[in-house]
A and B are shown apart, each in its own frame.
Chain A
């Protein structure tokens, strides 16, 4: 185009503190490039972009189609979860942390309650442990499916997206039936669970397992051997094991580089050492290896769910200690979920002391002995740690979440720089960052 930019209504330029900003349309490119950096541009991708996995903003410096520098800008979903926890009781904290990584809410709760229980020095009953393990594995499947689905969508495999979200809907239906909510369950409580499973939980789990065993092969048929899928992912987003350790990457990224590091195996909690399952690893250290690791983990999670369902015996789901355990059992009434009628009858009509106890525990909360702990669980994205500090009161002094999404996202430049711009999308999709967890 020969029209000078200043006279072209479609490509005006203006001076800003950052330099000259051009608006370029159509074939106007050659009007603004100079000889020295004729191919160099900096583009801003996101925070509202369908391929950035949520409100992630990428700033990419390109030479032609090659990425020379990549930086991620985060904070668009910062909600102050950690700060808010300092103004609530230890029990209420669960409802905040569950909203951090919204694709793996049960893992946020698990890491948090594990820390509170370590501070309190209590061990939850075995039934509660098994239910926690079972639900976490159901949740892991859902989270990995979203990773496959959105990753597929971002790379143009739209059938992968619809299939992934179809299966994830099964996960959400199951979790809704078992816990009461599709997401942000607030189902784990310090000391146990908010309530027991519904009576027909076993049939629902069996249906779920049957559906998944029949459908998981679809992913192999649809994606694993597909030439386009392999070409887009193999050798892309390479991050070897030393890079993973230096940058703190854990979870499928680390396992795709060949190190079988899984908190469930190396620091077993809640009886994970009694389940028979493998830690899948690959050695490609690329996006395709991460895809394979996640797909295999879904199969392993199904094995754990099956074993957990077989091991589950009737029993309490909350610790005996009445200073910690919620006094009421929840039930569904005509006006929604609330305390059971027997409990209301007791505290309102029979026992003043029970009423006082209920009131104090609900409004004041329980005291947690002073000290600090760091506990972690293996979330779908890696090591999810929680650092809790108590001063002996009923509220935390500090709740810090070591979010694997936050840490793993730091590997994006290492995976992307020097590659093609289209491969940035594949790399980000293989990191699987969840912005609720990154920004908290």
Chain B
């Protein structure tokens, strides 16, 4: 294991490592990534958002502190029918679809979204947590806060304890792998529920990890939400994300001595070809894909 220097703490699993020193160069690398994502977005046909649009309207200091990158999610898609190079006579081989990047929401968010965003920013300021929220996205009636990895524990504690927020229940912690060619391919997703106000929000953490032998790290939220214990174990098991501060981060679904993390996109599904009426059907992950 080589030493890791990105945000989210060092390779150690001790809990005080993420609370202490600010990782050097974190802000700079964040700005670079934002630029790269914008360029990629523009090159692939989309319109690059103006800096003022990207900036979270009304979130003030929080937004400036946390950087203004759009969180990249999704991979570019080329062609159809899973055929590359020669052999595609369909004409769809020239198809180019840009990678999906969730658009930052603009004020007013509508409904209770403005209220919860304001309350969260105020509560975080009150507790001295700066630069936690990177982006707010509203899609299909659901609000997503993109949170800096090293701040997730404080944000969760604020969401649970602040009287204006009261997210008592952590419904689920999970992760998404957006594909090997996406710069921040692994996202950890938290679904929180406020039973007091009957509101659901999603927290999403885009990890600065683009593959490699070493696993990404972020703080565990078990001390705030004990229910996250098994969720985080499952996320470690399936995605290889290390939750620093988890009481016993071991595999939970796969056997203890298993190699690899099955839900990563570069982990094969497995399967054998099946012969049916003389024709050989390839295993599912080698069949033609249409997207």
Contacts and interface: CB of A to CB of B under 8 A. Distances in A.
Interface of A: 74-75, 78, 80, 82-84, 86-88, 118-119, 121, 245-248, 250, 259, 261, 266-267, 363-365, 367, 370-374, 376, 383, 385, 387, 389, 391-395, 397-398, 400, 402, 406-407, 409-410, 439-440
B47 interface: no
A259 B168 CA distance: 13
B4 interface: no
Interface in B2-24: none
Contacts of B269: 80, 83-84, 86-87
A199 B191 CA distance: 42
8 contacts: A86-B269, A363-B290, A364-B290, A372-B139, A389-B73, A391-B74, A391-B99, A402-B191
Contact of B169 (A248, A363, A371): A248
Given A74-B253, A391-B74, 13 more contacts: A84-B269, A87-B269, A371-B100, A372-B144, A372-B202, A373-B142, A374-B191, A376-B171, A385-B191, A394-B291, A407-B172, A409-B230, A410-B230
A387 B189 contact: yes
Contacts, number: 131
A373 B140 CA distance: 7
B247 to A, nearest CB: 12
Contacts of A410: 226-227, 229-230
Given A400-B172, A402-B191, A87 B230 contact: no
A261 B194 CA distance: 12
A248 B170 contact: yes
Interface in B43-75: 73-75
Interface of B: 73-75, 77, 97, 99-100, 102, 139-142, 144, 168-172, 174, 176-179, 189, 191, 195, 198, 200, 202, 225-227, 229-231, 234, 238, 251-255, 262-263, 269, 284-285, 287, 289-291
Contacts of A391: 74-75, 77, 99-100, 178, 291
A397 B230 contact: no
Contacts of B99: 391
A371 B227 contact: no
A387 B269 CA distance: 20
A256 to B, nearest CB: 16
A376 B176 CA distance: 18
A317 to B, nearest CB: 24
B9 to A, nearest CB: 25
A358 to B, nearest CB: 15
Contact of B289 (A385, A392, A395, A402): A395
B198 A267 contact: yes
Contacts of B77: 391-393
Residue in B100, B172, B179, B252 whose Cβ sees the most chain A Cβ within 10 Å:
B172
A372 B200 CA distance: 14
Contact of A397 (B74, B191, B231, B285): B74
Contacts of A370: 74, 100
A266 B290 contact: no
B253 A246 contact: no
Contacts of B169: 245, 248, 250
B139 A371 contact: yes
A87 B284 contact: yes
Nearest to A88: B284
B202 to A, nearest CB: 6
Contacts of A247: 226-227
Nearest to A243: B226
A367 B92 CA distance: 15
B252 to A, nearest CB: 6
